[in-house]
A and B are shown apart, each in its own frame.
Chain A
Amino acid sequence: MKKYYKYIVSILLLFSSCEEEIKLELAGGAKKIVIEGNIENGKVAEVIITRNSPLSQVIDFSSILIKNAKVYVSDGIITDTLHLDTLLTTSIPFVYTGSKIKGKVGVMYQLTVIVDADTYTASTVIPSPIALDSVWWKPQPPEDTLGYAWGHLTDPKGLGNAYRWFAKRPLKTRIMNGQIVILNRRYLAPIGSTFDDKFIDGKSFDIFYNRSYDPTETLISENESQNERNLYKKSDTIYIKFCTINNETAKFYTTYEAAISSNGNPFASPSTIIGNLQGGALGIWAGYGATYDTIMPRP
């Protein structure tokens, strides 16, 4: 929807308006902690903890990572103390992971993060997974070897279900400038992948997604066309992770997607991302009810 607003006015602006970059003194905001964590059925919790960064400075990863946090996940009976790990499958390799508690459907999990004597908390539930009825690939005309990944979803009757779609292609390694570069290391959620059943309650229908790309991989140029970058090739293997999420998680990721897609849209209102952390931290503590599928388009 938001992008349409842009079209409405941008067409008028074609005739007369001009745009220029300006310099403004930007006041810095308060220092805040940012938490992005999740627990999935059958898996241990993963929590990435960073700091926000002033607009005036170049991002320095070593300064935004928080490596000395105390992180606990509790299911109400036992408490798992998370430890800092390095994983290839998360957006930043430095991630706090659990060991004792593996996610179970329907259980509520409490997250506690302590950084420099400040405590941040949140709780989430892993909703019952709802699997896609089927998944497939088909060419998107006029292309014949490129297309979206499709799935067929039947939403159970009754409002309150929400979903997030992730996909990835097989892990690849490349040598670039003498260095080993790993591609397709994690599941990606394209823009529009988070939705709830407000408009589709109890319906059975097709969904489709583009390939998306990993912002952490943008240095790699494969000389692909726009469609090649956006769509899956017939020769690709597509791994799909389809998750049910609760309403708070849906709210966080839809507002996050709105913020990303309204970047550079002059008509967008300030997109505040609505998180669920208590104690003044930004971010989300999400429960994922995940199911997995694979599409192999080639015959």
Chain B
Amino acid sequence: MRYYILLIFSLLGCLINTSITAQEKQKKYTISGYVKNADDGEYSIGASVYIKELLKGGSTNQYGFYSITVEEGNYTLVSTYVGYKDFTKQITLNKNLQINIELQSTAINVKEVEVTAERSDKNVSSTIVGSVKLDMEEIKKLPAFLGEVDVMKTVQLLPGVKSAGEGNTGFYVRGGGPDQNLILLDEAVVYNASHLLGFFSVFNGDAIKSINLIKGGMPAQYGGRLASVLDISMKDGNVKKYEAEGGIGVVSSRLTIQGPIKKDTSSFIVSGRRTYIDVLARPFAKPGSSLKKSGAYFYDFNAKASYRLSNKDRLFLSGYFGRDVLNFTDNASQFKLGINWGNGTGVMRWNHLFNDKLFMNVSAILSEYNFSFGAQQTGFEIKLFSGIKDWNGKIDFSYYPAIRHEIKFGINYIFHTLTPTSISAKQNETEFDFGKIKKNNAHEVAIYASDVFDLTDRIKLNAGLRYSYFLQVGPFDRYKKDPTNDQTIDIIHYGTNKKVVDYGGLEPRFSMRFELNPKSSVKASYTYNLQYIHLASLSAVTLPTDTWVSSSELVRPQKGTQYSLGYFRNFKDNTYETSVEVYYKNLKNQIEYKDGSLPGADVNDNADNQFVFGWGEAYGAEFFIKKRVGKFSGWIGYTLSYTKRTFPDLNQGKTFYAKYDRRHDISVVLSYELTPKWSFAAIWVYGTGNAITIPVSYYYIDGNFVTEYGDRNSFRMPAYHRLDLSATYTPNHAKKREQRKQRIIDQYQRTGKDTTTISLSNKWIKNYGSSWNFSIFNAYNRHNPYIIYFSTDGNPYDGTLKIKVRKVFLFPILPSITWNFKF
């Protein structure tokens, strides 16, 4: 490990040295600034900014900041971003320049949509392997399930990403488990990204600016998870004018309001959603039926405020709060049940620019996930809850010493408080002993440094190193078990702040691009990651009851090593992007429940006493072709993959396929803009069925026939496939608005004014629009299995006993209409 540190720092050192010596020969100056959207002042994340003559530059960071340092001279500065017109400006560089760029939406002139969208060869030229950035505008064009635009569902259409199945928003990236994805909303960890057991995700499309998914070559600033990073940024709010948008759909409605607090310096956005299937279903229920008093719904809010304190300081406050509520009353058995769960996040971020080369961000973050459950029947009452809460502090620096370098370094500290399943129960007056409410505390610290630099004109490297450390502290009770009969033989108590266990390690990350020619490149990456908190699932499907556990004396940190290699090539003037990537992954210290484990494992006990440990490997190939621009756009992705697990204490020690091993996975996403009024989209997905464990025989115990289960995950569910269609109708008034805008632009151009300064806030442009979205989910009504289960029916004593295999499917063909508005 020490070898890696030496390697990285000597590399960094020698490269910076060479740049310093070069600097002495000729004067160098820095161009820096922010890139934002001219319409509403939103900062653009990942926009390309480069010097045309040198074809060198970089992209904006998460806050829209860029910095380029080059030798003095006359240059053309270019900035490009998907969905926006290219920005170009002639500059004379003889001193440090600060240029804030405002990008004009291409939607202003429909004809120009066909003009280059992003720096078109970015796919080929960037070093990052296995990374995909999605824009909300792109996502909103696709068919939406029940009219609800869902970023998680779109992410699952990308190669290498597999949905956990219908009714799950959990996803699997390159053979990793659902807990191995780091899901960030404005830097705050989101522990459970699903609403209504996965029918919707917690991310409200109206409040989201952009999504970045990294499935391989994870940069060093991210850590704590093995498989992927899904980095979601919320909108900052319109700094130019007030705006309201929303939608009314068959199952839910949403409303977003944004606007300046003080024009051009501060802004806010608030966004809310609520589903009303419970309200809709009630009137149809028979009086006195269980449905009358039952319901399931969710609501959530996003809020954010952004302030520009000075030219060098910016402050962002953002938060999310969402809850799912389920009530159920069965009059016949006097059974009552109430469940609610949800996430909450609060983030405060301060951006500071020390100078035009050094950018800093300080974040204070709170994230929380809670689950609670209550039930009662004939005097028996049970309450159960679990959760996780993180206090997180981060300082991140971006340093741009020379055009060849982009250095990032920082420190991250998290204090985890995990509440394992806690139960209280009573039978009339008798309280059962489920022990005190336990909270497990742990510290997690990480420091990192990375540099993206051009080794030669053809080779670009991204080298990073992260060191992470985990410390579990008391109060904590360790239930020691007798290995032969599983009985508690001793309880060891650790006092407050007393060390229970610690782990740590270096996580080296490398990725590189070798440019074969301007149209094609080869990329490779190696990453090593550590993960200290884990999700344990007992059920066949992912449920909100699954609890998070931290590493402990028994649960060692998960370790993941990934090698990936890709070939990227663009065709026809970058109209088509294609890529082939292969990966191999090795996973250590994986956890599963023991055979025969029952819920309530961590009551008067430690959950990890019920775990067994093993290892896994995953490998596969991903093929991707995308047409990004033009009236007709879309992509096709195909993944061939293998995911295996080996646990000495499961399946008699034989290697088995993971539940989410998927041999073939295909996604076809197409959209077509017929006229400015009408656009159409279609999605088709296909996936090999999940691997499940099924019964293989009956046997007789105490008068009953029970089933014996066969080898773990040795059976395949039928394949999953589905076609969704949608049409979006945007009535004329939007067109009129566009025409009006165009007239103003023409006017500006005739008088020789700079059109880049036009923004939507111009009082002459009445900004009102609405659209209708018609979608059909599951157009050919395929009954895709959600769950397959086995039940025995009949009586063995009269020869009628037989096993029945039943398939539960969630959604038949489902048409929906949503009306979206904006004013």
Q: A residues engaging B (CB < 8 A)? A: 1-2, 4-5, 7-9, 11-24, 26-29, 32, 34, 36, 48, 50-55, 58-61, 64, 91-92, 140, 159-160, 189, 198-201, 203, 205-206, 214-216, 218-219, 246-248, 251, 254-256, 258-260, 263-274, 282-283
Contacts and interface: CB of A to CB of B under 8 A. Distances in A.
Contacts of A19: 806-809
Contact of A21 (B541, B706, B786, B805): B805
A21 B604 contact: no
B703 A198 contact: no
B294 interface: yes
Interface in B770-823: 783, 786-789, 791-792, 795-812, 814
A59 B796 contact: yes
A140 B805 contact: no
B432 interface: yes
A260 B796 CA distance: 15
A2 B326 contact: no
A109 B789 CA distance: 39
Interface string B541-580: 1010100000000000000000000000000000000000
Given A18-B783, A55-B698, A32 B708 contact: yes
25 contacts: A2-B599, A8-B545, A9-B197, A12-B197, A16-B810, A16-B812, A17-B786, A17-B809, A20-B807, A22-B788, A29-B697, A34-B699, A48-B700, A61-B796, A200-B433, A205-B427, A216-B703, A259-B707, A260-B706, A267-B539, A268-B539, A270-B695, A272-B595, A273-B701, A274-B596
Contacts of A7: 328, 335, 337, 375
The residue in A13, A59, A64, A160 that gathers the most chain B C-beta atoms within 10 A of its C-beta is A59
B374 to A, nearest CB: 10
B539 A269 contact: yes
Contacts of B702: 36, 91, 189, 256
Contacts of A259: 706-707
A199 B593 CA distance: 21
Contacts of B803: 26, 55
B697 A28 contact: yes
A79 B808 CA distance: 53
A254 B811 contact: no
Contacts of B291: 14
A45 B335 CA distance: 42
A271 B802 CA distance: 18
Contact of B603 (A2, A198, A203, A263): A198
Contacts of A199: 432-434, 603-604
Interface of B: 196-197, 199, 277, 281, 291, 294, 296, 326, 328, 335, 337, 339, 373, 375, 378, 427, 430, 432-434, 485-488, 538-541, 543, 545, 593, 595-596, 598-600, 603-605, 693-710, 715, 718, 783, 786-789, 791-792, 795-812, 814
A50 B795 CA distance: 18
B796 A274 contact: no
Contacts of B810: 13, 16-17
Given A29-B708, A198-B605, 9 more contacts: A7-B328, A8-B326, A34-B700, A55-B697, A59-B705, A60-B799, A199-B432, A263-B791, A273-B596
Contacts of B693: 270
B806 A20 contact: yes
A141 to B, nearest CB: 9
A18 B593 CA distance: 30
Contacts of A219: 795, 797-798
B536 to A, nearest CB: 12
B339 A8 contact: yes
The residue among B335, B700, B704, B789 with the most chain A CB atoms within 10 A of its own CB is: B700
Nearest to A148: B378
A227 to B, nearest CB: 11
A31 to B, nearest CB: 8
A34 to B, nearest CB: 4
Contact of B539 (A5, A18, A55): A5
Given A9-B543, A267-B540, A269-B538, A215 B704 contact: yes
A2 to B, nearest CB: 6
Nearest to A92: B700
Contacts of A32: 697, 699, 708
A1 B599 contact: yes
Nearest to B479: A159
Nearest to A140: B378
A22 B795 contact: no
B698 A160 contact: no
Contacts of A92: 700
B378 A91 contact: no
The 9 residue pairs across chains A and B that have the minimum distance between CB atoms: A29-B696, A264-B791, A52-B697, A274-B596, A266-B789, A1-B599, A215-B703, A91-B703, A59-B796
B767 to A, nearest CB: 37
Given A19-B806, A199-B603, A27 B699 contact: no
